[in-house]
Amino acid sequence: MAGSSSSGPSSGGTSRGGKVKVKSARRQTPSSTRWLSRHLNDPYVAAAKAQGYRARSAFKLKELDEKFGILKGAKAVIDLGAAPGGWSQIVREVNPNSKIVGIDLLAIEPMAGVTFLQHDFLDPDIQMKLSEILGSRADVVLSDMAANTVGHKQTDHLRTMGLCEVALQFAETVLKIDGIFVAKVFAGGADPELLKRMKQLFKTVKHAKPAASRKESSEWYVVAKGFRGYEDVQIA
């Protein structure tokens, strides 16, 4: 708003040749200025806004789906760590008739055709809720979850891999036979033990880094297809 002032981050930006140049605001660190500049000049951020996607991450799932056929024919899909809803949007776009459940600890703005649950997906009660909503096991479990980074590469890697591990354990209890599991991992892919577990549970396990994933980011995705079976039957 004109005439307002703030001590927080501000773009303070000027545009030259289509590129936004960011000026450092008072109390704004150099790293936050660089992040803001990168964000404002990110073509995927602009494309997400132009196409009505809630986040640039929507393009990551879009690319993974085009490469691996993740969503084709899926009738029941679970999106873990769904906020703000970009991946659920892509599922809805590809399969408008599928049943989609997004789960996150954060509140998510409602979306037509998608059920959002503000819940911990590790809570045992979630199994009953999913059974009621989906009416069957899931064809696909998606996880774009990543732990909040602390700036220490090894620690950040271990924390995100821990989320991938619990997401896999969750997928084991809800996937249909031949179901698909997709999750974020870090550079180098899934840890050996986790990768071994995936290869036991699924017919194929592959890694990919979508073009929409920033080059400087160490994130990759693991795509496991052809779920062989489950140990604990918890959803009818």
Same domain as 74, residue 121: yes
For residue 123, what are the contacts with CB-CB under 8 A and spacing of at least 6? none
CATH code, domain carrying 129: 3.40.50.150
98 is a domain residue: yes
pLDDT in the model for residue 91: 98
Give the pLDDT confidence score for residue 27 in this predicted structure. Answer: 57
Other C-beta atoms closer than 10 Å to the C-beta of 136 total 14
Query: Cα separation of 220 and 190, whole Å?
Result: 9
* pLDDT beyond 70 at 153: no
List CB contacts of 214: < 8 A, sequence separation 6 or more: 38, 42
2 lies in a domain?
no
E runs forming strands in the chain: 14-16, 19-21, 76-80, 99-104, 114-118, 138-143, 175-186, 202-208, 219-227
Residues 203 and 95 in one domain: yes
Residues 103 and 117 sit within 8 Å (Cβ to Cβ)? yes
CB of 220 closer than 8 Å to CB of 187:
yes
Q: How far apart are CA 177 and CA 226, in angstroms?
A: 7
Residues 88 and 35 in one domain: no
Co-location of 155 and 202 in the same domain: yes
State whether 139 and 28 are in the same domain: no
**pTM: predicted TM-score of the whole model, two decimal places:** 0.78
Answer yes or no: is 66 within a domain: yes
> What would the mean pLDDT of 6-13 be, rounded to a whole number?
34
Question: Which is more confidently placed, 60 or 229?
Answer: 60
Report if residue 75 sits inside a domain: yes
Q: Quick check: 181 and 197 in contact, CB under 8 A?
A: no
Mark whether 62 is an active-site residue. Answer: no
| pLDDT, tens digit, 9 for 90 and up, residues 72-125 | 999 999 999 999 999 999 999 999 999 999 999 999 999 999 999 999 999 988
Q: Could you tell me if residue 52 is inside a domain? A: no
CA 181, 185, 188, 193 torsion-angle sign = negative
* 84/173 same-domain check: yes
Strand intervals (E) in 83-201: 99-104, 114-118, 138-143, 175-186
- Confidence band for 156, pLDDT divided at 50, 70 and 90: low
User: Do the Cβ atoms of 173 and 234 come closer than 8 Å?
Assistant: yes
What value does the mean pLDDT take over residues 202-229? Answer: 90
Domain count, the chain: 2
- What average pLDDT does the structure give for the chain? 80
Q: 47 lies in a domain?
A: no
pLDDT at 235: 45
Could you tell me if 26 and 117 lie in one domain?
no
Q: Look up the domain containing 180 and give its range.
A: 58-227
pLDDT single digits (tens) 31-67: 444 434 454 457 888 888 999 899 999 999 999 999 9
Q: Decide if 133 contacts 78 (C-beta within 8 A).
A: no
Among 24-28, 46-50, 128-132, where is mean pLDDT lowest?
Answer: 24-28
Which residue is catalytic, options 62, 99, 184, 209?
Answer: 184
- Do 30 and 142 fall into the same domain? no
Alpha carbon 116 to chain centroid, angstroms: 14
pLDDT at 4 (0 to 100): 34
